[in-house]
Structure 1
Amino acid sequence: MTSAGLTETDWSGEGVTIGKIERELARLRDESAGHGSQPNLRTSVMTHIAWVPARWQAAAEETLAGMAERHPSRTLLLVPRPEADDDRLDAQLSLRCFPVGARGVCGEVIELELRGRRAVAPASIVEPLLISDLPVFCRWRGEPPFGAAEFVQMVAVVDRLVVDSEEWDELRYSELAQVFDRVAVSDIAWRRAEAWRFELAKRWPAIREQRISVRGPRAESTLLRAWLAARLGRDAESITVEPGPELGVRLDDEDFPQPRPLYATPSDLLSAELDQFTRDRIYEEAVRTAA
C-alpha cells in the first residue's frame, strides 16, 4: 500500500556490512532524482526503529506504509532471527519519495534481518545508522524480553520506547516500570483509551464516589482502571474489570456513553506516539498502579 505520488527505489543484499549499506543508500539517493532533475531532499525528523519478530512483520510493514509522509525519517526495521544457522546481516533498502513541487522529499527504510548471533547484539548494528542530533524512537513489537541483552542494548540506544501491551502474553508492567528512569516509554494500549480518559475526566469530582466497572481488552481495561484508581486516590480493587471485545465503563448502574475514537488506524496510533517527545508521568503512574 502506497500513497499517491509515492516513488520507491530499492536494493537488497545478503551478508552485508554497515559500510555497504551506507554506500548503497547514498547511491539510491543520487539515482532517485532522475536525469536532469533537481536532487531530492533527504528529510528526517527522527530515526524510527522497529524491532519486529517474524510473526509481526506483515503488520509492521502495513503500519509503516499507512504513515506515508507524516513522519519523514530514517526507519530501521530489525527482524531478529536468532535461530538461523549462520551469523550474518541481510538488508533490504528502500528510498520512499513524495513529490513536493519540482523536488521529492525522501525517507529511508532499512530492513535488516539479524541472523544468528547478530540478533542478540543489535546496538553495534544500529548505532552507526542513527542520524546524529535527532531523536531515536523504537517501536517494539510483541512482548519485550525484559532483561535480555538485545532489549537492554536497545533501551540504552533510544530516546523513546513504544510498546503495545495488548500484544503481550503477560502484562509485565512491573518490569516495564523498571526502565522508566532509563528511557521514555509509550504504550499504544494506553493511547487507544485516550478518548475514554478525556470524557471520564469531565465527570470529576462526582465520579470519585461512584461504583465503577470497566470492561474491555485486557491491557486497555487494566490501564484504564489503574488510571482511574491513581487519579481518584482509590484502591484499584474497588474498580471491577471484566473481559470484553471493546472498552466500556459503568458508573453506578449506568453505561457511560461510548466516546468517539480519536485514531482510526494502527498507523494513526503510531503516528501519535512519534509526536510525543517527553515522559508521560500520568501513564507511568498508571503502570505502577497496575503492576
Structure 2
Amino acid sequence: MEASMIGLWDTTGNEVVKALAAERRSAGGVASGLALTLVAVVEEKKVREAEAAATIAASAHPCRLLIVVRSDLEGRSRLDAEIVVGGRLGPAEAVVMRMYGRLALHAESVVMPLLAPDVPVVTWWHSEPPDVIANDFLGVVADRRITDCKLAPDPVAALGQRARDYAPGDTDLTWTRITLWRTLVAGAFDTTEERVTGATIVAPLNDPTAALMKGWLKSRLGIEPHWEHTDRSPLMRSVELKCANGDCVRVTREEGTALFSRTGQEDRYMPLPRRTVGDELAEELRRLDADQIYGEALGAMAGVAGLDSKPAMRVHVWKDPALAARAGDAAGAYAGPGGSAA
C-alpha cells in the first residue's frame, strides 16, 4: 500500500474526520482489518518516542492510532492534525493531533468521532500516569488502559496510586517489564512441588519492577518477600527463592542474560533482554480483557484487597486543572493564623 499523508493546521474535528475518510479511500481502506483503536496520550517532548513505540505495536496489532498531544492549556484553542495512512507510523491508520488551549481539556470531542467502529479501545499514557483515570475521558471510554509508572517522579508511589484507583482492564508497563522474570521464576517449579518458604529481591530502592515482583510473589506464594536495596544496579538485580527442603533458586541479571542457579544443578544462562517500549506495548495489546493476575499482584504490593471485584466501568469525573491551580495558588498565598503570605 502506498503511503498517504495530509496535514491540517488550525482545523476542526469534523475536518479531521472527513480527511481521514478521504485518505482511507485513496489508500484502499484498511479499517476492515483493524483489531482495535489505540489512543496515545503524549507530552510534546515524547511524541517521537511514542510514535516509534506505537509503530512497533501496530505492526503486530493492526489498529487505528490516535496520538493526542495536549499543549499550552492557557493559549487560544486550536487543533493541528497530521493524518498518515500506511506511512511512517506503520501499516495502519494514524492521526497525530496537537490540541491547544481549552480544547486540550476536551480532547474527547475530537477523538470520539475518530474511533474505529466495532473494535475495542485502548488508551495508553506515554507520560506521567494520571492520579485518577476517571478525570480523563480518554481513559473512561477505553476497554483497556495502559500506564507507565516508570515515568512518574516516584514510580513506587505511583504504583500504589494505580492500586487505589484500579479498575479491571487497567495495566501498567511495569508489569510487562517483569514478564520474562516471572517466566523464569515460575519455570523453576515445573518439575517440583516443593513449597517456597521465603524470597529475597535485590533491587534499587525506588524500582517499580521490584515492587511489583514482590507483590506477585506475595499473591502467588502467600509469603512476604524481603526487598534488599542496592545502589550497584539501576535495575532489579536478582530474585532468590528458598524452599522448604533447603533448596535455593536464584535468577540473577547479567548483561542481556539471566544466570539461573538451583541447588544441586549446574548454572545456566537464559535470555533476559531489555525490550523497547514498543515491544512492551505490543505484548499488552495481545489481551483486551482484564488481567486478574496483575490485579492480584498490584493489590498485594499496595495492601489493597479485592481489586478485581471493583466495577470495570468508570464514570467520568470532570476536573479543571486551571481551577485546581488557582485554588492551589490561593491556598499558598494564605498561610493561616499566625502565618504570612508568600
TM-score, with structure 1 as normaliser: 0.82
SS of the residue 1:140 aligns to: strand
Tell me how far apart the structure 2 counterparts of residues 63 and 138 of structure 1 sit (CA, whole Å).
14
Distance 1:7 1:214, change over 3 A: farther
Tell me how far apart the structure 2 counterparts of residues 41 and 124 of structure 1 sit (CA, whole Å).
24
User: 2:61 maps to which residue?
Assistant: 71
Tell me how far apart the structure 2 counterparts of residues 206 and 23 of structure 1 sit (CA, whole Å).
62
Whether 1:218 and 2:207 are equivalent positions in the alignment is yes
Matches within 5 A, 1:77-226: 77-96=67-86, 107-147=92-132, 151-170=135-154, 171=156, 172-181=158-167, 183-204=168-189, 206=194, 208-215=196-203, 218-226=207-215
User: 1:242 maps to which residue?
Assistant: 230
Distance 1:174 1:215, change over 3 A: closer
1:146-167 per-residue CA deviation (whole Å, 9 max, x = no partner) reads 2377x43122110101112222
Could you tell me whether the CA contact under 8 Å between 1:52 and 1:79 is conserved in 2?
Answer: yes
Tell me how far apart the structure 1 counterparts of residues 224 and 162 of structure 2 sit (CA, whole Å).
21
What is the aligned counterpart of 1:12 among 7, 25, 32? 7
Tell me how far apart the structure 2 counterparts of residues 8 and 87 of structure 1 sit (CA, whole Å).
30
Distance 1:111 1:211, change over 3 A: closer
Whether 1:46 and 2:18 are equivalent positions in the alignment is no
Tell me how far apart the structure 2 counterparts of residues 130 and 192 of structure 1 sit (CA, whole Å).
29
Tell me how far apart the structure 2 counterparts of residues 58 and 51 of structure 1 sit (CA, whole Å).
12
Tell me how far apart the structure 2 counterparts of residues 155 and 165 of structure 1 sit (CA, whole Å).
16
Aligned-pair CA distance for 1:265 = 2.8
1:67-89 per-residue CA deviation (whole Å, 9 max, x = no partner) reads 45322211100001144511121
Tell me how far apart the structure 2 counterparts of residues 162 and 177 of structure 1 sit (CA, whole Å).
13
What is the aligned counterpart of 2:293 among 282, 285, 290? 282
SS of the residue 1:209 aligns to: strand
Aligned-pair CA distance for 1:141 = 1.1
Quick one: percent identity of the two aligned structures? 24
Greater Rg over alpha carbons, structure: 2
Aligned-pair CA distance for 1:57 = 1.2
SS of the residue 1:19 aligns to: helix
Tell me how far apart the structure 2 counterparts of residues 68 and 277 of structure 1 sit (CA, whole Å).
15
Gaps of 5+ in 2: 243-247, 253-257, 259-269, 303-342
Distance 1:263 1:68, change over 3 A: farther
Could you tell me whether the CA contact under 8 Å between 2:197 and 2:223 is conserved in 1?
Answer: no
Distance 1:218 1:72, change over 3 A: same
Aligned Cα root-mean-square deviation (Å)? 2.7
Could you tell me whether the CA contact under 8 Å between 1:47 and 1:130 is conserved in 2?
Answer: yes
Letter in 1 for 2:71: R
Aligned-pair CA distance for 1:191 = 1.0
What is the aligned counterpart of 1:25 among 12, 16, 20? 20
Tell me how far apart the structure 1 counterparts of residues 185 and 282 of structure 2 sit (CA, whole Å).
24
Tell me how far apart the structure 2 counterparts of residues 215 and 47 of structure 1 sit (CA, whole Å).
36
SS of the residue 1:109 aligns to: strand
Gaps of 5+ in 1: 1-5, 33-38, 99-104
Tell me how far apart the structure 1 counterparts of residues 229 and 296 of structure 2 sit (CA, whole Å).
19
Aligned-pair CA distance for 1:241 = 4.1
Distance 1:148 1:187, change over 3 A: closer
Aligned-pair CA distance for 1:201 = 1.8
Tell me how far apart the structure 1 counterparts of residues 227 and 275 of structure 2 sit (CA, whole Å).
28
Aligned-pair CA distance for 1:211 = 4.5
Query: In terms of mean alpha carbon deviation, does 45-54 or 89-98 score higher?
Result: 89-98
Distance 1:247 1:127, change over 3 A: same
Q: How many residues are matched?
A: 271
Letter in 2 for 1:174: G
User: 1:36 maps to which residue?
Assistant: none
